[in-house]
Structure 1
């Protein structure tokens, strides 16, 4: 078992897409999550999916399904915690997360996150926006298992914003180029599906 596992965050409610699983929307003939699996699997020792609700709907992917351990959809950090608990049971030391609706993220994500990790072992991905300002991509990160109890306590105490917690632990930052387009482009709306298919066609 590799010391580094991958967790695809698919626990959101997809309100801008009209509900349901964004990862199950079809883009260029495949589920969005298929594109994510294809990019993340070569970079990690094993994968799991963080998702809530009936796990049977995701059975075709053949991966462990990790529900949030906290109620009321407390956000992506709950998915990170579920991933860390799973990794701890596997004897792993860290996980890398990727969002289920982001089909173009870098193929060197894990290498760059690992190289840029802060003193605690945390690191977030980032990329410049259209103005050149670097924006963190907090659903793409390297998360050490050693911090899972601290994260659990923070979530139980009401914390929801990822960067507040990562800043407390001096997370590093791996900045990825946004040319010719932002690799962290995510599919939130039906119009984004059209845009993603155009980008895939151009590639």
Structure 2
């Protein structure tokens, strides 16, 4: 597979309850929003980016990305966002066979994320790949076959499966690990203290 044919969906549906509410990807780090940092990391790696977000799409209009809401009602979880992305790709990029999913609140994503995930899928002949670091997998950040979307829809709607790893466990899954020095590329800001740490890390990363 060629990585220049792989679109990506950015999952920005969280409500940042541990930060007092609002859109977590819109918090500022080093003078830029977290989401702007995610977009800057992934634009060179993906053929196109789309944003999964529920509610008023106008709040993200400045980023100029297609915005897709969850297509499965009453399912506030990342699998619904991934499915929304897969459905959008199938409808708008019918030649695309793979899609990257990434969290909208991870400002330091690896610059070789798509290339390494794609290589792992090809080498291991897997239907899915997931990123990992420091002994922990990050199921929201991965590579998906677009052809899995109907099976994912069934898992969500009929089986009420909500955890990503419960779904991916059904398939051959490649896991790709990144080093955590000088920083963990999958660091995400969940609390006010995390935002302060992210400011420090941004100085190392920029």
TM over 0.5: yes
Cα-to-partner distance string for 1:146-178 (whole Å, 9 max, x where unaligned)? 100000000112001111111111211111111
SS of the residue corresponding to residue 141 of structure 1 reads strand
Measured in 2, the distance between the counterparts of 1:192 and 1:5 equals 29
- Given candidates 10, 17, 41, the residue that maps to 1:15 is 17
5+ residue gaps, structure 1, are: 129-133
- Given candidates 189, 192, 197, the residue that maps to 2:191 is 189
CA contact (8 A) 1:126 1:176 kept: yes
CA contact (8 A) 1:23 1:100 kept: yes
1:104 aligns with 2:104: no
Q: C-alpha displacement at 1:121, in angstroms?
A: 2.5
SS of the residue corresponding to residue 133 of structure 2 reads strand
Cα-to-partner distance string for 1:94-142 (whole Å, 9 max, x where unaligned)? 11011111001100000010111253421000111xxxxx211011100
Match of 2:62 in 1: 60
Report runs of 4+ in structure 1 exceeding 6 Å deviation.
none
Match of 1:144 in 2: 145
Measured in 1, the distance between the counterparts of 2:25 and 2:104 equals 5
Match of 1:119 in 2: 125
Cα-to-partner distance string for 1:60-87 (whole Å, 9 max, x where unaligned)? 0000001011122341111110000011
SS of the residue corresponding to residue 168 of structure 1 reads coil
Match of 1:162 in 2: 164
5+ residue gaps, structure 2, are: none
Measured in 2, the distance between the counterparts of 1:161 and 1:180 equals 30
CA contact (8 A) 2:155 2:161 kept: yes
Measured in 2, the distance between the counterparts of 1:21 and 1:75 equals 15
The size of the alignment, in residue pairs, is 197
